[in-house]
Amino acid sequence: MDWLAPYYSWIKALHVMAVLAWMAGLFYLPRLFVYHAERAKVGSELDLTFQVMETKLLRVIMNPAMMTAWGCGLLMVGMGGLDFNAVWGWAKLIAVLAMTGAHIWMAARRRDFAEGRNTRSGRTYRIANEVPTLLMFVAVVAVIVRPF
C-alpha cells in the first residue's frame, strides 16, 4: 500500500465527501418515510411519488456514497489511518458498522413501501431519523477528539 501514500490526502478528501453524501441520505430517507407513512395511501399518486424519491435517493446517492466511503475508509485503514490499538479506532469502526446496518434497514423499509406492505408508523421513522445523528456523533468524536 506504500504506492498509495502520496494520495492519502486525496483518498481522505474523497472519503469525507462520500460520508457527507451518505449521511445526508441517512438523515433524509427516514424523513421521507415519515411523510410517506403518514400521508400516502397505498397505490395513490402520492405513494408512487414517494417511492420514486426514496428509490432514487437510495440507489443514486446513498448506495454509491456508502460504497465510496467504505472503499476509501478501507484504503486508509490499510495505510495505517485507523488505530486499532486504541479504543477510538474500535468506536469509529462500530459506529460505521451500525450506520451500515441502519442503511440496510432503511433499504428494507423502502422495499416494504414499494410492495405496499409498510406496517411501521411515522413515529418509528422519526426515531430512526435520530439514529444516524447519534452514530455520526460517536464516529466524529472518536476520530477528531479521541477521548479514549
What is the per-residue pLDDT across 42-92, written as a single tens digit (0 to 9) for each? Answer: 999 999 999 999 999 999 999 999 999 999 999 999 998 888 999 999 999
Would you say the pTM of this structure is higher than 0.85? yes
45: cell is 399518486
- When divided into structural domains, the chain yields a total of 1
Cα 31–110–117 angle (5° rounding)? 110
56: in domain:
yes
- Residue 124, domain extent: 7-144
How far is 137 from 92, CA to CA, in rounded Å? 10
How far is 5 from 48, CA to CA, in rounded Å? 47
Residue among 102, 100, 103, 128 nearest 37 (CA): 128
115: in domain:
yes
